[in-house]
Structure 1
Amino acid sequence: MSLVFPHTFVPWFRAVAPYIHAYRGETFVVGMTGELVAAGKLNAFVQDLAILHAMGIKIVLVHGFRPQVNEQLVAKGHPARYSQGMRITDAVTLDCAQEAAGQLRFEIEAAFSQGLPNTPMANAAVRVVSGNFLTARPVGIVDGVDFQHSGVVRKVDATAIQKAIDIGAIVLLSPFGFSPTGEAFNLSMEDVATSTAIALQADKLLFVCEVAGVPENPKDPNSPIDTELAVIDAQRLLAASPKPTSPLDVGFYLQHCVRACLGGVERSHILPLAVDGALLQEVYTHDGIGTMVVDEKLESLREASSDDVAGIINLIEPFERDGTLVKRDRTEIERDVELYTVIEHDGVIFGCAALYPYVEAKTAEMAALTISPAVQGQGDGDRILKRVEQRAKAQGLASIFVLTTRTMHWFIKRGFVQVDPEWLPEERKRKYNWDRRSQVLVKKLA
């Protein structure tokens, strides 16, 4: 039996809460490769999906079956054939694909039906719905290669899928589609997941796959993963890279992420199946664990508005409780909210600072500079400071000052110098708490 430590669990759970609120009621399309099942990770992955479902997220799961089909082909002594990264599906391969899909659907539905005590599936009443939601057309002959029974998605029955997820079911899609005449076509998981996400205008498309994400330096696969990639940058990367033909190629999943975002899906993700809980880490932590592709950078440094009051309060309250910040009531923050600068990421406030000008003294106080512990050390404090300095200069002020009891050295490293409290403007001096004995630090603006 594992122990729960309140000093780590409680702060973690509070940090997760904003994402629970943000994603409740949203629609996620999850593309799961067959390699995940082959690696024996299905049960843990299904448990994570059940947790997302319990948090109010609507889920469509699309499974792949690349290794399972190849295993069937080996058993029948039939070669697996590919061209341009797509499987060539002859009659034998189509039979193998249908057999592999049936077995996988059985295993996935069985995994969702578990309810063992002391597991994430306890008390989880998850209903799985599958059906003929996809209409397909043949790939045809491309560059002289006849793809036979391989197809691409022609249409997704978004209305039927929406009805199923709206009543609380998880929709399970296999990479098979049918023509209006009833002919079956073998599809790719990536095409099905992307087409479904676009048809539903899903909030997220997530591929859980063999690669960890897109490396910051595509020429060095061992370089750190780029956690956030704008669509325009992703397009440049694809244009500069060879056409992907293998799931291990940088652009293989990235091309589908770009297509989804251009089709109206807000965010697309590439996650490593090798990391246990990758799905939960990507959804419920600030930086995630894989690569997220978005139309524009989600992190925003801007002036605050009345809509940000609750986020500012949630951010600064823990620092007020431990005495790092002076207590401010909600009325004061609502009154002064336009004086605040905030950093927002994906709808959550992670940093803030207020600038209170003393025009006659040509200075201003920077107050309530706060960065969430979840993202400290990533330069957000410097970014806010720079923006506050810019705001002060725009008002014709010659300096800014801070009062602090615990972070003196941080400010000194950034050009502030300590002065006597008597330096303060008369209006601010009257409010100075001599019992608190805050250090006064000033920075002249060039």
Structure 2
Amino acid sequence: MSLVFPHTFVPWFRSVAPYIHAYRGETFVVGMPGELVAAGKLNAFVQDLSILHAMGIKIVLVHGFRPQVAEQLAAKGHASHYSHGLRITDEVTLDCAQEAAGQLRFEIEAAFSQGLPNTPMANATVRVVSGNFLTARPVGIVDGVDFKHSGIVRKVDAAAIQRAIDSGAIVLLSPFGFSPTGEAFNLTMEEVATSAAIALQADKLLFMTEVAGVHEKWDDPTSPIDTELALADAERMLAALPRPTQPTDVAFYLQHCVKACQAGVERSHILPLAVDGALLQEVYTHDGIGTMVVDEKLESLREATPDDVGGIVALIEPFERDGTLVKRDRNEIERDIEAYTVIEHDGVIFGCAALYPYVEARTAEMAALTVSSAVQGQGDGDRILKRIEQRAKAQGLTSIFVLTTRTMHWFIKRGFQPVDPEWLPEERKRKYNRDRRSQVLVKKLV
């Protein structure tokens, strides 16, 4: 018996479609800590990555191996040593790191090769490419501490990685780099992922982490997660936080997100690995999960351009089908595109309205006010209405009016008053459809 219910699946799948279009061909760098593998979540996570890959997203996967190296060291009776939040890599630790990395790469490649029926990997052919894409240099001696074989990324071979992901492969990077003399250095997953994202000018850098994200009050874990953090706010927060020493510290991943955004990566994400499907939720839902750092506010209220015609058509079409809106021809929208105001989030249009002035009557019609069902109740309609009012005032108009059959109460709550259709300007009155029996509501602009 199928567990897929059309009344929930179909609207959900339609709501996902804008993101599928928006992200096709974009480059995501994903940082996966060794803790995710240790928690037994590798197969499910690889399946989610495979779905992103199937949707046309170019993926660079960077794996970590902190718990795996710790396990190897413990088996050999050798203690782990850290300073300044970095592992000190002596000869024994370097051997353990190389062994852990080899085992993890084997497990990851095996996970991408699975193709069991009735799983997301069925019928998937995912090629994984790895290699010596990283050049490194030693950390050296810091405050008297010799970090030995611990290193820092010197250069990322972005051109070679780009060729690989352009060919349809997923690139897998281990946290190892090599000097021009062939010396190996142990790197951190976080630095490798950040450096790769910057070198590729990736569209997203996503870290799977042991934390739920950044809390609105960073020192209060009971406060809500801040789902969107502007770069300037993240910088201020980072300046106030103590230096991180472990992955669960607030600043540990935040510092890398800030660095990436400062260097041109538009969006960096901190996602909870404990939540099944967190990666899919972040990429394919409006509000996501975890915390996203952005170098500008993703929500943009602006006047429409010809490039927005397709997005407006897709937005209003469901409301035309159910009779909420009068059907508009695409050519009509294209012709009148300068009349439209849109609100977009992450490149996807979620709301619109058009302003048609009647200058002699000093009024204007606000038409096609629409907010996607995915974000209704979040104030987008009010923001669009305010912008339309501002546009009308700028043209010297004293009122705006709407014609509606179903949303009369919404407008009345916002200062509109019902009037007789005879109130309409003569030009608009001639086009009034009396069979539709639309209510006419007017709001005076002060």
Q: CA deviation at 1:2?
A: 4.3
- Which residue does the alignment assign to 2:125? 125
- Which residue does the alignment assign to 1:19? 19
Unmatched segments (≥5 aa) in structure 2 = none
Query: How many residue pairs get matched?
Result: 446
Task: String of CA shifts for 1:270-291, please: whole Å, max 9, x gaps.
Answer: 1111111111111111221122
Identity over the aligned pairs, expressed in percent?
87
- Which residue does the alignment assign to 2:148? 148
Task: String of CA shifts for 1:363-412, please: whole Å, max 9, x gaps.
Answer: 11111100001111111001001101111111111111111111111111
- Which residue does the alignment assign to 1:405? 405
Task: String of CA shifts for 1:403-443, please: whole Å, max 9, x gaps.
Answer: 11111111111111222222222222222222211111111
Does 2:405 align with 1:372? no
Unmatched segments (≥5 aa) in structure 1 = none
Matches within 5 A, 1:29-428: 29-428=29-428
1:377 counterpart letter in structure 2: G
- Distance in 2, Cα, partners of 1:303 & 1:25: 27
- Distance in 1, Cα, partners of 2:118 & 2:321: 35
1:197 counterpart letter in structure 2: A
Distance 1:2 1:249, change over 3 A: farther
Task: String of CA shifts for 1:158-194, please: whole Å, max 9, x gaps.
Answer: 2222222122111111111111122111100000001
Task: String of CA shifts for 1:218-257, please: whole Å, max 9, x gaps.
Answer: 1222222222222222111111211222211111111111
1:37 counterpart letter in structure 2: V
- Distance in 2, Cα, partners of 1:366 & 1:214: 40
1:245 counterpart letter in structure 2: T
- Distance in 2, Cα, partners of 1:185 & 1:12: 46
- Distance in 1, Cα, partners of 2:13 & 2:257: 30
Q: For 2:245, what is the secondary structure of its paired residue? A: coil
- Distance in 2, Cα, partners of 1:353 & 1:168: 40
Q: For 1:443, what is the secondary structure of its paired residue? A: strand
- Distance in 1, Cα, partners of 2:2 & 2:144: 59
- Distance in 1, Cα, partners of 2:164 & 2:334: 42
- Distance in 2, Cα, partners of 1:280 & 1:271: 11
Q: For 1:149, what is the secondary structure of its paired residue? A: coil
TM-score by length of 2: 0.97
Task: String of CA shifts for 1:107-134, please: whole Å, max 9, x gaps.
Answer: 1111011000010000111111111111
- Distance in 1, Cα, partners of 2:140 & 2:222: 38
Task: String of CA shifts for 1:13-42, please: whole Å, max 9, x gaps.
Answer: 222222212222221111001111111100
Q: CA deviation at 1:3?
A: 2.1
- Which residue does the alignment assign to 1:445? 445
2:38 counterpart letter in structure 1: A
Runs ≥4 residues deviating over 3 A: none
Q: For 1:319, what is the secondary structure of its paired residue? A: helix
- Distance in 2, Cα, partners of 1:85 & 1:417: 63
Q: For 1:296, what is the secondary structure of its paired residue? A: coil
Q: For 2:246, what is the secondary structure of its paired residue? A: coil
Q: CA deviation at 1:338?
A: 0.6
Q: For 2:153, what is the secondary structure of its paired residue? A: strand
RMSD between aligned alpha carbons? 1.3
- Distance in 1, Cα, partners of 2:409 & 2:219: 40
